[in-house]
Amino acid sequence: MLFQVIHRATRAATTTLVLMALGLGPAHATSRIKDLANIEGVRQNQLIGYGLVVGLNGTGDTLNNIPFTRQSLQAMLERMGVNIRGATIRTGNVAAVMVTGNLPAFATQGTRMDVTVSAMGDSKNLQGGTLLVTPLLGADGNVYAVAQGSLAIGGFAAEGAAASVTRGVPTVGRIANGAIIEREVEFALNRLPNVRLALRNADFTTAKRIAAAVNDFLGTKTAEPVDPSTVQLSIPAEFKGNVVALLTEIEQLQVEPDLAAKIVIDERSGIIVMGRDVRVATVAVAQGNLTVSISESPQVSQPAPLSRGQTVVTPRTRVGVQEDGKKLALVKDGVSLQQLVDGLNGLGIGPRDLISILQAIKAAGAIQADIEVM
């Protein structure tokens, strides 16, 4: 099968090509079950809360423009015995924020967790601010943690009368160990009769290999693949009431994962990621660039002295067309990923051209892989 791809474009070569060849190391690379699957039920829980950050150096919310900040400030002061109803509040040192965090699995009361603080109003900078006591709620509406503390900001902003500079995002901060856990999520792992392993990348072959590795280790048919993303373990008699010991043993078992051949393309940045098992049928690929150059050199025509003529600018335009053609490159049947990369790089093409060539080869039915465009 002969397939020719000619891609013509006008471009400035400013995009950096990142071409990652996955799996070019050992032919049979193995991974721990711990790195391939999660224990079903052992998970984090997302928490969210609404609070106020104070102590800002005039970079907080504009109270006249942000009503929820003004209402929250009034309600907080009234709870502390300060009545400001009807008074005009003029301060730029307060900002309304959303506080988010992840409650770790098996977290106990009194332990701490990190939280992220994000501005909601028109605050320009949260640097130097302190988060006041903020309850963090789960999806069920219950309070699981309480956050408070000084913010650490990764970005900064500075401005003068005629110029300003901003680095990073100064309206988002983080408080390390800024929340104390007040409620535990009950999960009796040791009393479970069965344990399910959830694969991070669903695949029939990988699920079967995990089950086989566990059964070989325990010497009994304990594990069974239920679907491409789940392996179910029946707790053996010797591990009844001690599921943690069983998981500690099997999570270190080595398994060779198997994934479908895939090519991931990010057209915005020109990033291409190709899996180890990508294969191509015999094709011939050619690529050419069409360069159009336009230059202007206007000339000024002036009248003779003491004449009634006018000075006229006469345009002069040069248009040139240059095509840098490349010879056909033959890509043989069933080549490896390394050979495919070397062959395409031999054409001297850029990332944009490579993306178009891969898509054209896929359209011709000559590439055995899924192409996912981000």
Mean pLDDT across the chain: 80
Angle subtended by helix axes 204-218 and 243-250, to nearest 10: 110
- Asked whether the predicted pLDDT for residue 94 surpasses 70, the reply is yes
Question: Are the beta carbons of 95 and 69 closer than 8 angstroms?
Answer: yes
pLDDT score for 198: 94
Secondary-structure percent of the chain, ordered helix, strand, coil, rounded to 5: 20, 35, 45
Least confident of 190-199, 279-288, 304-313: 279-288
Question: Are the beta carbons of 198 and 229 closer than 8 angstroms?
Answer: yes
**Between 114 and 357, the higher pLDDT residue:** 114
Distance of CA 91 to the CA centre of its chain: 37
d(CA 188, CA 317): 80
pLDDT score for 209: 95
Question: Are the beta carbons of 81 and 61 closer than 8 angstroms?
Answer: no
Q: How far apart are the first and last CA of the chain?
A: 30
pLDDT score for 140: 93
**Between 353 and 15, the higher pLDDT residue:** 353
pLDDT score for 374: 76
Radius of gyration (Cα) for the chain, nearest Å?
32
Tens-digit pLDDT profile for residues 342-371:
666 666 666 777 777 777 877 877 777 888
pLDDT score for 346: 67
- Asked whether the predicted pLDDT for residue 303 surpasses 80, the reply is no
- Asked whether the predicted pLDDT for residue 335 surpasses 70, the reply is no
- Strand blocks (E) in 256-315: 262-266, 271-274, 279-280, 283-285, 288-296, 299-301, 312-314
d(CA 49, CA 86): 28
| 299: amino acid identity, one letter | Q
Please state the rounded mean pLDDT for residues 39-49. Answer: 92
Residue 86: band (very low, low, confident or very high) from pLDDT cuts 50, 70, 90: confident
d(CA 193, CA 243): 9
**Torsion over CA: 41, 44, 46, 47 (sign):** positive
CB atoms within 10 A of CB 126: 27
Give me the residue spans of the domains in the chain.
18-26+261-303+310-373, 31-42+188-255, 45-181
pLDDT score for 19: 35
Least confident of 10-14, 76-80, 127-131, 275-279: 10-14
Q: Taking the CA of residue 213 as centre, how many other CA atoms within 13 Å lie in the half-sphere pointing to its CB?
A: 22
Residue 21: band (very low, low, confident or very high) from pLDDT cuts 50, 70, 90: very low
CATH 3.10.129.10 matches 31-42+188-255: no
Tens-digit pLDDT profile for residues 124-177:
999 999 999 999 999 999 999 999 999 998 876 677 666 777 777 899 999 999
Produce one character per residue of 273-303: b if its CB has 16 or more CB atoms within 10 Å, e if not: bbbbbbebbebebbbbbeeeeeeeeeeeeee
d(CA 328, CA 336): 19
Hey, what's the torsion of the CAs at 332, 338, 342, 343, to 10 degrees? 20
Residue 115: band (very low, low, confident or very high) from pLDDT cuts 50, 70, 90: very high
